[in-house]
Amino acid sequence: MTDNIVKFPSRELDIELELEETEEEYMEMVEAINTMLEMHIAGLLVTSEANWRHVMDACMSMAVSAGLRAGISAEEIQSMMRTSKIHEVEYDA
> Hey, where are the domains in the chain?
43-83
Instruction: Choose between 18 and 79: higher pLDDT.
Output: 79
pTM > 0.85: yes or no: no
CA dihedral 65, 67, 69, 71 (to 10 degrees): -150
Within its chain, how far is the Cα of 37 from the centroid? 9
pLDDT number for residue 87: 86
Nearest CA to 53 among 70, 66, 41? Answer: 41
| Interval 5-36: pLDDT, tens | 666 666 676 767 677 888 889 899 999 999 99
| Interval 22-74: pLDDT, tens | 888 989 999 999 999 999 999 999 999 999 999 999 999 999 999 999 999 99
